[in-house]
A and B are shown apart, each in its own frame.
Chain A
Amino acid sequence: MPVPGPSISLRELSRDYGTVRAVDSVSLEIPAGALVALVGLSGSGKSTLLKMINRLVEPTSGTIRIGDEAVDSIDAHVLRRRIGYVFQNIGLFPHMTIARNIAIGLELAGEMTGRDERIAQLLDLVELPQEMASRMPDQLSGGQQQRIGVARALATRPGLMLMDEPFGALDPVTRDNLTEQYKALHQKLGLTTIIVTHDMAEALYLADRILVMEGGQIKADATPAQLLSGNVGEEAEALVAIPRAQAAHLIALGKQA
């Protein structure tokens, strides 16, 4: 059984951009091993909230603790090496082979031994063939590239994964595949994962807890089942209504056929 990921605690966390308050005094406890989805419309503050955890964005006020450590007590680059980070635009290094892209975290940490084995292991983990290792990023499809993005984030065995719309730019089939596979990985590796998405259907499928954000605040905090049963606020209901209506439409179509 792998060591479970850390718990996360946010206290009155705020971030201002000029006069705009992107994140507004958010307090939150995320237990170890949770898979939490942050859902909201564009500009609701969900990405800003996520990026404050690995200090890509510095909070205006408030504190963040990972386990029992405050994130600002550690050098930003040291902190980030302990956290897996996957985002929509992937950002593979175009001048490095896939193998070096995957192992870059190990290279930064100065881990010299066992790199090749680890690369092979990670390619297996994200279900890509071994011969990918020697290719360059531009020879891979978008879905393959994001699999590498996930493998790269997992290379240093982080307990915490932060994912910012990780599968948002992929085609629906690939996206569905990856979502499912990531869910399995999360459980297998005992990670704590926070995933930002604007797609409620994805969140409902993937997460064991869903946070609905609007105007920099968390308007709903519920399990998928609770969300679907209603009574968790109108913001959440508005987002849930979309997949619900789609599903109803599909069922109706099926009955006609």
Chain B
Amino acid sequence: MTEAWKQAFARVPELLAAHVQISVSALVLAMLICLPLAIWASRAPKVATFTLAIASLIQTIPGLALLALFYPLLLGLSALIGGGISAFGFLPALLALTLYALLPILRNAVTGLAGVDPAVAEAADGLGMTQSQKLYLVEAPLAAPTIMAGIRTAAVWTIGAATLSTTVGQPSLGDLIFAGLQTQNWTLVLTGCLFSALLAISVDLLLGLIEMGIRKRRKILVWTGMAVIAAGLLVATLPLMIARDNVVVIGAKGFSEQYILARLIGSRLEEAGYTVRYRDGLGSAVVYQALSEGDIDVYVEYSGTIWTNQMERTDSQPKAAMLQTIAQWTSSNHGVKMLGELGFENTYAFAIRPTDAREKTLKTLDDLARVSSDFNFGTDVEFLERPEWQMVQDAYPIRFKDARSFSPTFMYPALASGEVDVISAFSSDGRIAANNFVVLEDPRGAVPSYEAIMLLAPDRSSDDKFVAALNPLIGAITVEVMREANYMVDRKDDKKTSRQAARWLNEKLRE
């Protein structure tokens, strides 16, 4: 087994445990909601129509969108009751997955209960059963196989959809898939897919066994299925039960540089005696909120992101003044400590092919504006919605022929192959230099500065050991070193994992 597989597999137990935990919780909660509802619905047809309509409606919302919806919803709710609700991680994932699991359980339970032979129901009444005796002795056992089939469907859906909960900061096997997709590490992607598929298949088989046991009235099958599930649950969640004090959670957004820096920070904290966990692939909006709530302890942010997204500023300030303003703002508004800047910038940089730069004499964004109507624009998934794009458009009369969004991984090849003619690259990305792309200058200073800065959660601001472990990283990372580390992960040949790149970076800093 190669190093890459070993590293990928090493992450599986903990992520599998989290995956099982969130899936089971959502499934149990969905059952607790659906079964009483189905009983009510079986006595009142109007309730059945209404609840099934709602459940079907929820099902039409894509899983990712449902997860994303709960983030602002919970934030709003938390603000309404004066805080205390975490919009990050377990809770939004639980709620979204629960809603997603409702339909199959509810539909099958309603169908199962309605499908009880009227003659059998009449006999139950005629013999003098009370409503609850009828339910317990007759309706429930007869509907059980159908209900079980619904639970089985819901379980498979939930296990699949749980991979998406990575995006709201709930660890799952999706961590491997998302991280692998961002860094083109197919070993990670395959590992994540493999284990989530294995989990879904084994749960499906076991629940199928229980279903068959109920249908054929073979108790041994039911008990065997349940025993194996219980044992599996215990083994799978074992890593979570090992109590860990003082676990540090390091956040990272969804691209290579963030993964590498998170591991660099992690290795320094581990040296200082902390136990470290990672929450990868978080959205820009989620990650700062999570830090200020203390759900994560530390992450690397970029000054311009705070400036435009959090502070909603549209003006530009000189770099030093801007950093000072940001430090004051995060501290006074959220108690978030800006430990300092790492020493390099990762700003939005408009990159073009060297041939275009030569032949069309393009040097600045003004030059780009001149030819923009002939150019196709390639961006990452969020740039077109970001205020920076508005700022650039306000400063330069750029009107592109067409604009397309890519995941960062595919954006650079798209420019190289001529699929697009200009991209919103990241200035610290190693693939700019590797492809000899030309970065256009921004003479009007439209794009704000994107200094990499390290932010600490309120609780960690006063943790001296913590601060001391990370202080050496401040001002230590040059853009050249960062580019090289990024390129190790992003390149096609001799690819390194983000952990390996972080190790290289760590040694480089100690030279």
Q: Which residues does A use to contact B, with CB under 8 Å?
A: 54, 56, 76-82, 85, 87, 89-95, 104-105, 108, 136, 152
Contacts and interface: CB of A to CB of B under 8 A. Distances in A.
Given A56-B125, A95-B141, A77 B120 contact: no
B122 A91 contact: yes
A81 B128 contact: yes
A79 B119 contact: no
Given A56-B122, A89-B118, A93-B124, 16 more contacts: A56-B125, A56-B126, A78-B128, A79-B128, A80-B125, A80-B126, A82-B128, A85-B126, A87-B119, A90-B119, A90-B123, A91-B117, A94-B120, A105-B127, A108-B127, A152-B127
Nearest to A100: B137
Contacts of B119: 87, 89-91
24 contacts: A54-B126, A56-B122, A56-B126, A76-B128, A78-B128, A79-B128, A80-B126, A80-B128, A81-B127, A82-B128, A87-B119, A89-B118, A89-B119, A89-B122, A90-B119, A91-B119, A91-B122, A92-B123, A93-B123, A95-B142, A105-B127, A105-B128, A108-B133, A152-B127
Contacts of A77: 128-130
A9 B142 CA distance: 38
Contacts of A85: 123, 126-127
| The 4 residue pairs across chains A and B that have the minimum distance between CB atoms | A91-B123, A89-B119, A81-B128, A80-B128
A80 B134 CA distance: 14
B350 to A, nearest CB: 71
B212 interface: no
Contacts of B386: none
Contacts of A87: 119, 122-123, 126
Contacts, number: 60
Contacts of A136: 217
A77 B118 CA distance: 18
B138 interface: yes
A104 B137 CA distance: 10
Interface of B: 117-130, 133, 137-138, 141-142, 217
Contacts of A95: 141-142, 217
Given A89-B119, A108-B133, A94 B142 contact: yes
Nearest to A104: B127
B294 to A, nearest CB: 53
A110 to B, nearest CB: 11
Nearest to A51: B126
Nearest to B131: A77
Contacts of A152: 127
B123 to A, nearest CB: 3
A43 B370 CA distance: 89
Name which of A92, A94, A136 has the most chain B CB atoms within 10 A of its CB: A94
Contacts of B117: 91, 94
Contacts of B138: 93
B112 to A, nearest CB: 13
Contacts of B129: 77, 108
A108 B137 CA distance: 10
Contacts of B127: 80-81, 85, 104-105, 108, 152
Q: Counting chain A CB atoms within 10 Å of each CB, which of B124, B128, B130 scores highest?
A: B128
Nearest to B130: A77
B128 to A, nearest CB: 4
Contacts of A105: 127-128
A78 B119 CA distance: 20
A104 B122 CA distance: 14
A209 B141 CA distance: 42
A119 to B, nearest CB: 15
A94 B137 CA distance: 11
Contacts of B128: 76-82, 105, 108
A78 B125 CA distance: 11
Contacts of A79: 128
A72 to B, nearest CB: 15
Quick one: which of B122, B123, B124, B217 has the most chain A CB within 10 A? B123
A240 B130 CA distance: 41
Most B C-beta atoms less than 10 A away, residue of A90, A93, A136: A93
Contacts of B120: 91-94
A76 B128 CA distance: 7
Contacts of A76: 128
A153 B15 CA distance: 58
Contacts of B130: 77
A109 B500 CA distance: 72
Contacts of A54: 126
A105 B133 CA distance: 12
Nearest to A107: B137
A54 B129 CA distance: 13
Nearest to A80: B128
B113 to A, nearest CB: 14
A50 to B, nearest CB: 11
A95 to B, nearest CB: 5
A121 to B, nearest CB: 19
Nearest to A82: B128
A91 B116 CA distance: 11
B133 to A, nearest CB: 6
Contacts of A91: 117, 119-124, 126
A95 B215 CA distance: 9
Contacts of B118: 89
A79 B129 CA distance: 11
Nearest to A78: B128
A117 B357 CA distance: 100
A56 B217 CA distance: 31
A94 B118 CA distance: 12
Nearest to A90: B119
B467 to A, nearest CB: 66
A94 B217 CA distance: 11
Nearest to B141: A95
A171 to B, nearest CB: 19
A91 B124 CA distance: 8
A33 B464 CA distance: 95
Contacts of A80: 125-128
A198 B119 CA distance: 20
A83 to B, nearest CB: 8
A56 B118 CA distance: 13
A78, A89, A105 interface centre (most CB from chain B within 10 Å): A89
Which of the listed residues B118, B129, B142 has the most CB atoms from chain A within 10 Å of its own CB? B129
A108 B131 CA distance: 12
A91 to B, nearest CB: 3
Contacts of B217: 95, 136
Contacts of B124: 91, 93
Contacts of B133: 108
A56 B129 CA distance: 12
A91 B123 CA distance: 5
B171 to A, nearest CB: 42
A90 B121 CA distance: 11
